[in-house]
Structure 1
Amino acid sequence: MDSGTPTRRRLLMLAAGGSISLTAGCINTPTSGQVVSEEPANYCLDQLDESVPEAEATALSIDGVERQPAEELLPKDEAGYACGPQDGMLCGNCTFYIDDKNGNAIGACAVVAGEVRSVDWCGLWAPRDGFGGANSE
């Protein structure tokens, strides 16, 4: 009968150790699909100019929306501009996005002032015409 005790004891110790390891592995780790970034939340704003090239300033958005006059464009902070997408919404799939025209991979927006990256997002995001999106039914 004594021969079963070490096995049972060892099994209990392994089970307890495994539980602790699994719990420790869940602490401070990203959930599935979540990307851990070392960058501050608005790191990209330093990369963006407040003015846009003339080719983008006078261009239509990807859905044909005319860019607002400069004095009517919202500053990024008022628009809730954030570096990176949110729930599949990003400038590149927004009706207001004006594609890059000068080859620097940074575009503009019909309603937000300054340069805009296609991979970012703001609170004015609206789905492209005919494409649906996170806010469409």
Structure 2
Amino acid sequence: MSEQNNISRKAFLGKISMLGLAGAGGGVFLKGCGNGNGEEVADDPCADLSGLSESDIELRETLEYVAETPNPDERCDNCEYWVDDQHGPECGGCTLFAGPVHPGGWCNSWVPMS
């Protein structure tokens, strides 16, 4: 395991500990896959979060997951945490949080594939 992954996991664990504080304040729930502007990506096949718990949705929000990356070089499908075809042929998954993930998405824990 590379040192880069260890650092990212430490940062992830730190963010999870803050999740309880954010939840206590009544955080805003993630509407689904978005484009970073609070708007839903048109025809996003990965937007169905109906099977997720409130804490799963809060974690996605804490990690600032969006369906459309703000940086074309940093996409979910080229991230170390990407899980291919986990939620059907058009959506993958992530080892950091539950639910469908758009291949062209992004979150603040993005790490390049090794």
- The alignment's TM-score, normalised by the length of structure 2, stands at 0.50
* Deviation, structure 1 residue 113: 2.0
Say yes or no: does 1:126 pair with 2:73.
no
From 88, 93, 101, the equivalent of 1:116 is 101
Deviations 1:70-103 (A, max 9, x none): x899721011112212321010000001011464
Match of 1:94 in 2: 79
Check 1:50–1:124 CA distance in 2 against 1; reply closer, same or farther (3 A cut).
farther
Match of 1:48 in 2: 48
Q: How many residues align?
A: 73
Contact 2:81 2:96 in 1 (8 A): yes
**Residue segments in structure 2 that go unaligned for 5+ positions in a row:** 1-36
**Identical pairs, percent:** 22
Check 1:128–1:83 CA distance in 2 against 1; reply closer, same or farther (3 A cut).
same
Once residues 102 and 113 of structure 1 are traced to their aligned partners in structure 2, the CA distance between those partners, rounded to angstroms, is: 10
Give the letter aligned to residue 47 of structure 2.
Q
**With CA pairs under 8 Å and 6+ residues apart, which has the higher RCO, 1 or 2?**
2
Contact 2:86 2:93 in 1 (8 A): no
- The alignment's TM-score, normalised by the length of structure 1, stands at 0.43
Pick the structure with greater CA Rg: 1
Contact 1:50 1:115 in 2 (8 A): no
Match of 1:78 in 2: 62
Match of 1:107 in 2: 92
Deviations 1:38-93 (A, max 9, x none): xx5441488232548xxxxxxxxxxxxxxxxxx89972101111221232101000
Measured on the aligned residues, the alpha-carbon RMSD in Å equals 3.2
